[in-house]
Amino acid sequence: MELFFHVPTELLLGGGIVAKSADKLARFGKRALIVAGRSADKNGALADVYAALDSSGVSHARVMGPKPNPDLADVQRIVDAGRDFKANFIVAIGGGSPIDAAKVSAALLAQGLNAADLLSKTLKDAALPVVAVPTTAGTGSEANSYSIITLDNPKQKKSFLTPAMAPRLGLLDPKYTYSLGEVQTASTAIDAMAHLIEGYVREGRTRVGEMLALEGLSRLALCKDALLNKEYDEETRGNLLYASMLGGVLLAHARTVAPHQMGYQLTNFRDMPHGQACGVLMASYLEKMRSGCEEQIEKLLRALGMKELSELKDFIAKVLPPHGAYTREELERYADACAADALSKPNPAPMDRGMLLDIFVESLIED
């Protein structure tokens, strides 16, 4: 048997975990750049991080987090702030957008590069340490090296990574997610589900991956009623955050497959939230891939407490907001634009451009 399984991040989850981990922060240096958007001012995460850094004698400066789906300008703003402050490490607070932007900025800072260099240079394996404090429960970005950045001409989401970009510490407190709105909660939960499913069914799957996926999906199964009724208690928020983290750990050694690449089109050109964009395509994708992952589909449905893919499709549709109207011509464009990336992924069964279009059409026109 062969296995490559690298879990570089110390992940701590629980109520009050930032305060309890104050002494761990000082080991990364004396000057922390905090990357945090406005929501962190309201959900308590920023205040907790300030208090923890103060109590361990770490000085800090805050730069505003990026807009959702960060671009190179967002990254450069963080790099400039880190350079001005002479930061030794970065504390990223928020969803996947600030955490991803902070991770790649940490690499650029350590390597004396700027955001534009991402277009022409390959990153070396060096980065300032990053501490991630997630406030959404979906991306799992706290647990892996990926940083997804939006590029222009043509507009696309591209992942940048080097192992050193994985956060050194992830501090997960479910209470920071209580303030998420209905759409953000649902979309990020479905993103976590997509990571767990895609990382599981892909070609080259491992037993460790299966354990992570089925544990994460079982936790999501406990959240089904809450997601349908849009009422979340503390236990559900904890389960969602834990499932999201497991999805992030899974992605650290098993990358996503076609639904993520396809979903990026819907985010780039229709502004659909990331998790919704991947989730809306999922049931149709799995149906097309059935020949290569029959057993995995059966196990993942069982973990979710479901019997058929049609049940998964109904569930995702009920949980997410309406996806809007699409034309076949538009979906043709998206299939063309994502074909190179989506078809190069380790999808569990053979795929072609026609199949990509069929998935888009079945999911967005014929559903």
Q: Which residues bind ligand NAP (CB under 6 A)?
A: 37-40, 43, 65, 68-69, 94-98, 100, 135-136, 138-141, 144, 146, 148, 157, 176-177, 179-180, 184, 188, 191, 248, 251, 274-275
Q: DSSP secondary-structure letter at 122?
A: P
Q: Residue 96 Cβ, how far from ligand NAP at the closest point, in Å?
A: 2
| Type of residue found at 189 | A
Q: Residue 328 Cβ, how far from ligand NAP at the closest point, in Å?
A: 26
- Residue 143 contacts residue 249 (beta carbons within 8 Å): yes
d(CA 149, CA 350): 28
Q: Residue 70 Cβ, how far from ligand NAP at the closest point, in Å?
A: 6
> 82 or 94: whose CB is closer to ligand NAP?
94
Which residue in the block uniquely carries the two structure tokens 């260099």? 117
> 281 or 355: whose CB is closer to ligand NAP?
281
d(CA 112, CA 98): 20
Give, in order, the Cα–Cα distances in Å from 52 to each of 19, 136, 175, 292. Answer: 6, 21, 17, 48
Residue 238 interacts with which of Fe ion, ligand NAP, none, CB < 5 to 8 Å by class: none
> 138 or 238: whose CB is closer to Fe ion?
138
Q: Is 191 in the site for Fe ion (CB under 5 A)?
A: yes
> 173 or 191: whose CB is closer to Fe ion?
191
> 196-222 burial string, b = 16+ CB within 10 Å, else e?
bbbbbbbeebbebbbebbbebbbbbbe
Which residue minimizes CB distance to Fe ion? 191
The SS3 of residue 10 is strand
Q: Residue 352 Cβ, how far from ligand NAP at the closest point, in Å?
A: 25
Q: Is 100 in the site for Fe ion (CB under 5 A)?
A: no
Residue 174 interacts with which of ligand NAP, Fe ion, none, CB < 5 to 8 Å by class: none
Could you tell me which of 144, 170, 149 has the C-alpha nearest to residue 160? Answer: 149
Residue 21 interacts with which of Fe ion, ligand NAP, none, CB < 5 to 8 Å by class: none
Q: DSSP H helical segments within the chain, as ranges?
A: 17-20, 22-25, 39-42, 45-55, 72-85, 96-110, 182-201, 207-221, 224-229, 234-253, 258-270, 274-279, 282-289, 294-303, 309-319, 328-344, 353-364
> 270 or 290: whose CB is closer to ligand NAP?
270
Q: Residue 280 Cβ, how far from Fe ion at the closest point, in Å?
A: 13
Pull the structure tokens for residue 281.
């395509």
> 191 or 358: whose CB is closer to ligand NAP?
191
Q: Which stretch binds Fe ion (CB under 5 A): 180-188, 189-197, 212-220, 329-337?
A: 189-197
Binding residues for Fe ion, rule: CB under 5 A, are 191
